[in-house]
């Protein structure tokens, strides 16, 4: 397999270089009220969930990252092994590279080879035609298609796209015609209520609000610019918690996925309590697989699955939807955002 897509390797290198688990995050600005009589048993807790009509034994997954080169082939192969061993769903990185350069298809299709029965999402940019969507789904025999909306990344990326006026239309065509469920996702800049309602109005039913707080593509792309001149955009966007608050009024009518800077099972539980049905993790899985390898990454996943149940027991929530009734206290900064945006 020849190496064509240098950008993919640069993204992996820079994501790892900048990887620092946030010591403070908007997830810390949200606290649960502790009640002393949970009235559920650990063994009765269920962590299954349903998103885009698909049922998942575990409510977190390996979110879209990579493919398109020799190095990323190995990353996808190893992460797909973790997904198979632990029953996690997994998304590819953008498959557009394989549509232009068929010789790199294997760096994506390896995920299906390794994990023939797993749930896989193919990933493409929002600008793509339905034909490209079908080709991407085909390469992975994917169960769903993630369409990323990454205007902030494109604008900072030196060679990025500059035309966005057709995205809503291309997304709608994809939803209507691609033949698998479509998940529209951000890439770490978060979403607003207006974006979510616009997507809902064209028939999108599953949305990954992917917020700020983890992997930062403004910083990554700025580091790739000759003069690093767009550093003032590095804190652009809404955090994952704020994006979930923006989505809150729609959580019952849409499948909301949380991603962006999710560090621990407690962060995940906070996301579910704000209406998320699943959590996606990218930077952290990239770091784990490269630094710790397959076995330790699998052990971490098993630990997280158990820890989710521990916290749910403490909160008296037998299933994920029960978490929405949890008593939550928001910090003044989150409360002020809600008041300004009239979220109740
Ligand atoms: C990404 N992400 C991403 N997203 C997407 O939709 N298509 C893509 O091709 C990529 N590529 C990519 C490469 C690398 C190396 C990383 C780390 C991430 C974005 C990713 O899915 C997610 O939205 C953000 O990374 C925020 O989540 P984390 O990393 O903070 O958990």
pLDDT 10s digits, 131-141: 999 999 999 99
Tell me the Cα Rg of the chain. Answer: 19
| pTM check: above 0.90 | yes
Q: What is the DSSP letter of 1?
A: -
Determine which residue's CA is closest to atom 16 belonging to ligand 1: 65
- The predicted-structure confidence for 136-173, as pLDDT tens digits, reads as follows 999 999 999 999 999 999 999 999 999 999 999 999 99
DSSP structure string for 93-140: EETHHHHH-GGGTHHHHHHHHH-TTS-EEEEEETT--HHHHHHHHHHH
Q: Where are the beta strands (DSSP E) in the chain?
A: 30-32, 49-51, 54-56, 60-62, 90-94, 120-125, 144-148, 182-185, 206-208, 255-259, 278-281, 328-330
Tell me what ipTM this predicted complex has.
Answer: 0.99
Going from the Cα of 282 to the center of ligand 1, the distance in angstroms, rounded, reads 6
Residues with CB under 6 A from ligand 1: 11-12, 15, 63-66, 93-94, 123, 146, 148, 185, 187-188, 210, 214-215, 259-262, 281-284, 286
| pLDDT over 90 at 1, yes or no | no
pLDDT value of position 6: 85
Annotated binding-site residue numbers for substrate: 7-8, 153
Among the listed residues 205, 185, 282, 191, the one whose alpha carbon sits nearest the alpha carbon of residue 242: 191
Average pLDDT on 188-215 reads 98
| pLDDT over 80 at 108, yes or no | yes
Annotated binding-site residue numbers for Mg(2+): 154
Q: What is the DSSP letter of 33?
A: P
């Amino acid at each position: 397999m020849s190496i064509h897509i240098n950008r993919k390797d640069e993204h992996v290198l820079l994501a790892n270089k900048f990887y620092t688990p946030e010591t403070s995050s908007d997830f810390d600005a949200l606290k649960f009220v502790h009640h002393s009589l949970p009235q559920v048993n650990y063994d009765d807790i269920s962590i299954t969930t349903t998103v885009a009509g698909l049922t998942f034994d575990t409510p977190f997954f390996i979110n879209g990252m990579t493919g398109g080169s020799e190095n990323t082939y190995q990353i996808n192969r190893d992460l797909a092994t973790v997904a198979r061993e632990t029953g996690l769903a997994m998304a590819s990185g953008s498959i557009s590279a394989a549509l232009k350069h068929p010789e790199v298809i294997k760096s994506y299709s390896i995920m299906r080879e390794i994990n023939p029965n797993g749930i896989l999402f193919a990933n493409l940019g929002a600008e793509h035609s339905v034909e490209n969507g079908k080709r991407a789904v085909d390469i992975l025999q994917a169960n769903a298609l993630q369409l990323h909306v990454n205007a902030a990344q494109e604008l900072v990326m030196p060679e990025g796209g500059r035309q966005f006026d057709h995205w809503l239309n291309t997304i709608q065509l994809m939803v209507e015609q691609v033949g698998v469920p479509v998940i529209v996702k951000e890439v770490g800049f978060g979403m607003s209520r207006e974006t979510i309602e616009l997507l809902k109005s064209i028939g999108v039913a599953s949305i990954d609000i992917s917020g700020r707080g983890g992997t930062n593509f403004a910083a990554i792309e700025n580091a790739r610019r000759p003069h690093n001149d767009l550093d003032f955009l590095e804190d652009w966007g809404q955090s994952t918690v704020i994006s979930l608050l923006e989505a809150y009024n729609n959580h019952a009518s849409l499948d909301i996925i949380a991603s962006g800077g999710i560090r621990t099972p407690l962060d995940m539980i906070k996301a579910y309590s704000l209406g998320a049905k699943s959590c996606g993790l990218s930077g952290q899985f990239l770091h784990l697989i490269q630094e710790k390898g397959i076995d330790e990454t699998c052990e971490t996943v098993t630990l997280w699955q158990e820890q989710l149940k521990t916290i749910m027991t403490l909160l008296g929530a037998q299933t994920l939807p029960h978490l929405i009734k949890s008593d939550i206290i928001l910090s003044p900064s989150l409360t002020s955002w809600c008041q300004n945006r009239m979220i109740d």
